[in-house]
Chains A and B, each alone.
Chain A
Amino acid sequence: MALHNLDNLYRQAIMSYAQNPHHFHPVTAKDQYAVKKYNPTCGDVIEIAMTMNDQVIADIHFDGDGCAISKASASIMTDLVLNKTLSEAQNIISEFSKMAIGDVHDQLLLGEAELLAGVTKFPARIKCATLAWHTLDELMVGKK
């Protein structure tokens, strides 16, 4: 198919995350911490909620409206940081940021998020992939 270039970005696994995102449900009053962030270039919105138990992320979920890349990315992120300590989560976020700009990073640590590495070939879409991660970063910074 002539659209084969797109395969770098829209891997089959990415599309299945986008179609059936994990931890995708509305933020409620029960959630301990929540933050909402907009992607000003496109109008996408994401809201992430997190509940801590001791220093561990005991629950995390997201809600909002976005493209396949942003949804898949948020889904993978919530999988990765669930049951991690804040500093472990912070570490994963910073490795993801390195990957998004094409730098050397810890592939093992990023696991499924590595599927999004193709986004570096689509500079206009890097923000779609990083929106959830920036939002979580903001949430954790605000929490401290």
Chain B
Amino acid sequence: MREIKHDFPVLDQVVNQKPMIYLDSAATSQKPQQVIDAIANYYEQDNANVHRGIYELSQRATQLYEAARDKVQYFIHAHQREEILFTRGTTESINWIASTYGVDNVHQGDEIVISYMEHHSNIVPWQQLAKRVGATLKYIGLNSDGTLDMADAAVQITDKTKIVSIAHASNVLGVVNPIKALANLAHRKNAVIVVDGAQSTPHMAIDVQALSADFFAFSGHKMMGPMGIGVLYGKKSILENMKPVQFGGEMIEFVSLHDATFQPLPWRFEAGTPNVAGAIGLGAAIDYLTKIGMSEINQQEHDLVAYALPRLKNITGVTIYGPQSISEHTAVIAFNVAGIHAHDMATALDQEGIEVRAGHHCAQPLMRYLDQTATVRVSLYIYNTTAEIDRLVATIKKIKDYFQNGFT
């Protein structure tokens, strides 16, 4: 694992006089030199607008942009390249579905079903849609270990349900949800399933067909790609009947004074100059991840969790949220230390060069469900090491001493 860490220039720095340890990859991942180079190379050698130039440079840019789409297609095992739409990220992807497919297919009295563990980006667009069309937003409950209550899922998803939208992996609880089983429940009621893949795509092999996902959304920046690029996968049969969200250049075919015809998929959805460098950077990130192998990444992270979880649990006063068993826990570990507020813990860790997240993790309904206002969250990626976890554990113990004994 040592050589992987050296691919990430940002990880090699000192924060507050200590070698920095980055433990917030669920918020955004760091970028390997390969991705940084791909973006720089594009701007240095190939930059031009896409899909319009007759000249060499534009053709090169177009080819690179579309090659990135192919990489995404293979990476998530989509059936066709037309099913891959580039967006700004997971949030925009979900908003697109809600604001067009949702408005056209969800009506007064219908239901949208999500869960208590969703990120705000998979809650608020549905709240707004429900208000706009007069639909009901329903929540699937959780088991005491933080896993999704599948018995409740079967109750909540009814004949009135039009959309089920669920996180593939939680950004707080460290659980992976049984998407295929949820898809079956949804499809039995003729509802579509939207999968928020922001926290799963960076860490495990994704097969949208095996998952039976109708829509699958994810962000580039959490999987070593740049910020500002994301993907909306949609089944071709659904996308063909879905209206574009935005209108303008790139997406049109023929424009007259009062009307216009539109491009075929996928360009129909990509109005305006797209984020070409972002797509190329995402493609480079996919190359990087694929070279290591997604199952290898998953295994390495599992080993890190198996190392970290018992050591964190062993600290007196630590409560870990989500599944307690190593085998069920992803590399996202949310916890609290008795008597020390999460923000105070995060500030103290930062003073020791350890960068963690503290707060509600953009999941306020989940926090209320857990009866917490804030937790500390450590999220790991393959560039993290067991030595870093040792330092984290030792530092938490030191901070406990500081706050509990340092003032008497």
The count of A-to-B residue pairs whose CB atoms sit within 8 angstroms is 64
B360 and A42 within 8 A (CB): yes
Cβ of B85 within 8 Å of any chain A Cβ, yes or no, is: no
A125 and B343 within 8 A (CB): yes
Chain B residue nearest to A13 in the complex (CB): B407
Cβ of B314 within 8 Å of any chain A Cβ, yes or no, is: no
B348 and A42 within 8 A (CB): no
B344 and A2 within 8 A (CB): no
A65 and B343 within 8 A (CB): no
Cβ of B80 within 8 Å of any chain A Cβ, yes or no, is: no
Measured as residues with beta carbon below 8 angstroms from the partner, the interface class of chain B is 20 to 34
Chain A residues 1-24 with CB under 8 Å of chain B are: 1-3, 5-6, 9-10, 12, 15-16
> In the bound complex, what is the Cα–Cα distance between A122 and B350 (angstroms)?
10
A3 and B373 within 8 A (CB): no
Which of A2, A15, A16, A65 has a CB less than 8 Å from the CB of B373?
A: A65
Cβ of A43 within 8 Å of any chain B Cβ, yes or no, is: yes
* B contact residues around A16 at 8 Å (CB): 407
Most chain B C-beta atoms within 10 Å of own C-beta, residue among A44, A45, A67: A67
A1 to chain B: closest CB distance in Å? 7
A68 to chain B: closest CB distance in Å? 5
* A contact residues around B342 at 8 Å (CB): 42, 67
A37 to chain B: closest CB distance in Å? 13
Cβ of B367 within 8 Å of any chain A Cβ, yes or no, is: yes
B365 to chain A: closest CB distance in Å? 11
B402 and A67 within 8 A (CB): no
* B contact residues around A124 at 8 Å (CB): 347, 350
Chain A residues 64-91 with CB under 8 Å of chain B are: 65-69
- For B360-371 the 0/1 string (1 means CB < 8 A from A) is 100010010000
Known: A67-B374, A68-B341, A122-B347. 4 other contacts (CB 8 A): A10-B344, A42-B360, A43-B373, A67-B342
Give residues in A with beta carbon < 8 Å to B: 1-3, 5-6, 9-10, 12, 15-16, 41-45, 65-69, 122, 124-125, 128
Q: Jot down 27 A-B pairs with beta carbons below 8 A, ordered by A.
A: A1-B398, A1-B406, A2-B352, A2-B398, A3-B348, A3-B352, A3-B398, A5-B351, A6-B347, A6-B351, A9-B347, A10-B402, A10-B407, A15-B407, A42-B342, A42-B359, A42-B373, A43-B359, A43-B367, A43-B373, A44-B343, A65-B373, A66-B373, A67-B344, A67-B374, A68-B344, A125-B343
